[in-house]
Structure 1
Amino acid sequence: MEEKAEKVWTCRRVLQTSKREKESKHGPLIRAVTEQIVDIYSNCSGEYSYSTKLNPKRTLTWPCQGVHNGGLDNADHNFICHVGEKITNSENNCVYELIENLGQGSFGQVLKCSTEGSPNVAMKIAKNKPAYFTQGCIEAKHLKWLNTAYDPEAHHIVKMLDCFVFKKHLCIVFELLSMNLFEFLKWNNYKGATMAIIQIVTRQLLKALHCMRAACLIHCDLKPENVMVVSLEPMRVKLIDFGSACSDDMKAHSYIQSRFYRSPEILLGVPYSSAIDLWSLGCICAELHLGLPVWPGQCEYDQLRLITKLLGLPPTEMLAMGNKSKRYFKREATQSCDALEAVAAQSKQLQELTSAVQVDTISTQASTVASQPEDSGGEAETGKATPSLSWRLKTCEEYEQEANKKLTMSKRSWKFTCLEELVKDVPEEMRSCFLEFVSGLFQMDPKKRWSAKQALLHPFVKDDVPLEDPVACTSGMCQPIDANAPSSTTGTPASSPHGSACSTAFSQARQQAMLRSPWHLNSPGSGSECFASQASGDEWRTRSLSEGSRRGSARSDSDANSGADEKALRSREPTLWKMTRGVGSATSQSSTFREALGLRESGPVVASGTQEILGMAGSFHGGYPRRPRRHRH
């Protein structure tokens, strides 16, 4: 039996060896015939010709069924794109060939494109709807202002290379960057970054925010997905996605920021300033250290619950001012402890010195004092106790009963109860410095929160190079930004760094410069200002729809306003939207658009020094704005 089994195994080995020899003999031939099949057919027949134009084009947009815009747009009003399709700027005849899809959201889609003689770029194609078109024009206007008045490389702001209308869609072309900070954390298995990387990234983002404050702009959507990594050695990042940005004197929306990075003043409905971006930056710093968001709230109530658990209640003035405070907090009348103790001591003393009748009188007096109004501010003067109003966060049961909905609470919240516990894993030599820095950014009161310049002066991010204020040049008039430095080693601001972030003179000079600039979007034959500067524009009351879907439904709170319907948007659609639908050729419409935006006619402003895509990040699709849904295990 053993001999038979050995013979069988020997036969099998011989057959397998002969099979491998045949494969190795004919393998190169089969591969050559497959790869060079076009050349073989051309050599066999001179009449044979092959063209890639006949190949079926891979679709980059889903769903891909044409519904709107003569079959060019799908049901979501997105332009249906295919690999190899060419999008042309008819004004300067610049052709962009589509390569791949980099991301898609509620605003539209972002695609990687190639241009002749220039590095690859990222093109943001907005949806063919008035709200998205309007918001895209605002983003282009803000980027034009930032790229013109300031150095985008020195201030770490993305470059806008071109802007035009194609098939009724607004197309904005940016420099092509690599992965964002969220993808960087994902690539690092959500383990967090080193203190050196956190210092570099934070310093560069502070410079970007410092530049935006000089330009009187608020980003309103600072988060890891909107911070792109340019290079790893040295570490360089850039701030992107200005679709939600607004000016200091024209705050369009009250429902802004992704929930994980939403500031207390937005949650409470308090008038906001550039301080909201500093709060978001503090959340990014904490996330870079922890690897995951520090406050992963599932709704606004849950977000406030997590914030107050770590930082305590907001100031009474903020709660009294917020138009959404009573939605999440409850106001109760409580008597001052000092006043009650004073009344008790006085009553005890009088009981020892008087008769029973006098005791009854004193008890009546004490009950009368305890019911006094709050005019005296709760002070114990002459034995009078006054009730004071205090706020507390509603319990889950109270909120569910009043809101008439079931709460979804975060199941992955941290167990921290103070900021000291948050930084306990930081190396000892950096712990106190990092704690002091994040404490300055996590001030509940926006008046006490650090400004970008104050944060840049802190030792945690302070560079050896002295800080120079960005200067906005408006028609030969340069006005440096005015900011206060920290007044002590703890970094406490000497005065309010926000609110009136820019001086009145500078704000007026900027408005006058913009009125003289070609960035007006005036209606034909009208003398009105650009729609971004109209103080009474009704379109600014509509909800911003140009922002992508937030991770974990971060912007899908049921208590948020749903915005105006399509009919209302149509009635308030901007002049620029109507211009693209007017009677006339596409060339004249595009020319009018570019002339209105002040874009130069000699072609796209493509930077020759654009950095190549990171080789180590080849597994990522990369690109400009990506909003992937975050999955945590």
Structure 2
Amino acid sequence: MTPYAKDYGPQFQQPTPRGFDRHDLRSSILSSNLPSPSLRHEIFDSSLESPYPSHNSLTVSHQCLDKQSDTWAGRKQEKMPNWNEFYKNGLPREIIVIEDTPEPSQHAPNAPTSGYHLIQAPVPQSSASKKRKIDHITTPQEPYERAKEEVRNHLPSAPTGKSGYLDTLLSGPQAQTRSSGEVAQPNSGQKRKRTRLQLEAEPSAILGTAAPAIGGYPGLSGPVIRSKDVAVRIGHTASTYSARKIDDDDGHYIVVPETNLTSQYQIKKLLGQGTFGKVVQAYDYRRNELVAVKVIRSVQKYRDAAKIELRVLQTLRQNDAENKYRCIHLRDCFDFYGHTCIVMDLLDSSLFDFLKGNSFVPFPNSHIQSFAKQLLTSVAFLHDLGLIHTDLKPENILLRDASYQTFTYNRVVPSSRTTPSRQAPQRRVLLSTDIRLIDFGSATFQDEYHSSVVSTRHYRAPEIILGLGWSFPCDIWSIGCILVEFFTGDALFQTHDNLEHLAMMETVLDSRVDMDLVRQVNKMANRGNGAASYFKRLKLCYPTAETTRGSRRFVRTLKKLDEIIPPTNGFMRSFLDLLQHMFVYDPARRITAKQALCHPWFQEQVCDDGTEAAKLAPGRAHLTQHHKRAQL
């Protein structure tokens, strides 16, 4: 059972409660030979909506600026250059801009950037007083159109009849171009060196601009409201509970049903427990309804982490009061004898728990499509706020109502492996696909500190494994993994080893890790990046002498992506194409949430068990309300 799950009656039986950690089914796979049941990210610019990086056919030499550095001030008065002539050979890889900002102290610690979180190289003693900064500029219409054509040659082919998809993504109001000298600034007042990728990764939220409606996502209606530290009220008195022990030896709150958490909440039962603390179901006396309360451990590091989570939750609520974007909202918070308590809506089981209770038989295609659109909308909203979730997985996607109808299945279950497939006689089909995104304990603001490793292993993006820093694109990779899992019922990359994980990616995607990324890894080898040892001559060193026979077999039996998602019809071809755009090694070329919402897959219609189950939902709604009232 997930942290915010609730129980209805036997008629609405829910999946069996489980712990917070995903059960590792790999050992049974290896022993049984059966498959496991288990825009380039850029500053949003209304003048340019190209989702992919500029063509790298021209690189501007540093000498172009150094040659006349003594007359730089005078050059500002010259007329605007002929950009059509400048871009006649294609778009430049980088544009160098000289700033009058003093060079930061070379002894200053590496600070997080407002784009990709990359480690800064030490500044030489003889560095000039002027600072170089790499900027992405908007080009005129002619080179833009040429670049758009070149992008087509770098991407997987669009499905037949869907060529308009790339045109939609690459088109935009180019006439309203941004000034070539304009440089977007982060919220932080400190100026830092930023690479081209860092600038491209920054969302419109950092600039405070509103995005246009895209793929049903209306975007922000105004500037981002970022919450400061949330005030946590004291919810206890000195005499309360003085007669009994409150905490165990690890700082976890000792849950006792029918006892009070302040005068407003009464604990009903324990819902789940993790390293952060416990989640309980409680009754809210004031609102006369059940809620979920996350009780943080009385350990300082977890209390500090709770402050960040409260900031994120408050930011979500302030920018989406009506909860159009399906993220869990903060209802209340208080301190109870050293335990930070976060009150949220009580939801139903997670999508992982539903899969588990369904013997890992996958969801209907119509439900996968619905989940994908809701999830991408939520993530697009987060990214517009300058937030990266960093821990997207089925466990963190909760259903509002997990009521289901059982349908006859009697078919082979899709699998990501070539070993003998399994069959299922029936499957549970949800009556409603309404979901909420939860667990913002690891969510990170783009311009704040980035830890080196994020994401649950199975959903971790390659740039994180390679130690190249991460930003908004890591959430998109996770969504791709989630969608494949919804289609097959089992996790795509079931591993706990970095080298094996990369080998699995190469097998599934049928392509090697991009050489440019490997070169970046090699350049960072002298700064403690151990990922350089995974490669030799720009190729992945797998298998090695230490690789186990089980690992070799596990990687060898993985299917390619177009075998896992066979393009047998228009729906499947579009689904495969969307996944191919999500599973791009280079995060700067990976599709964004907004672009994904424009994909033609969301226009495909499908009739299956999911659409039939939806017809039964209205007749069951009053029964659900009856069970809710009975619980109270």
Q: TM-score, normalised by structure 1?
A: 0.50
Q: Which has the larger radius of gyration?
A: 1
Structure with higher helix content: 1
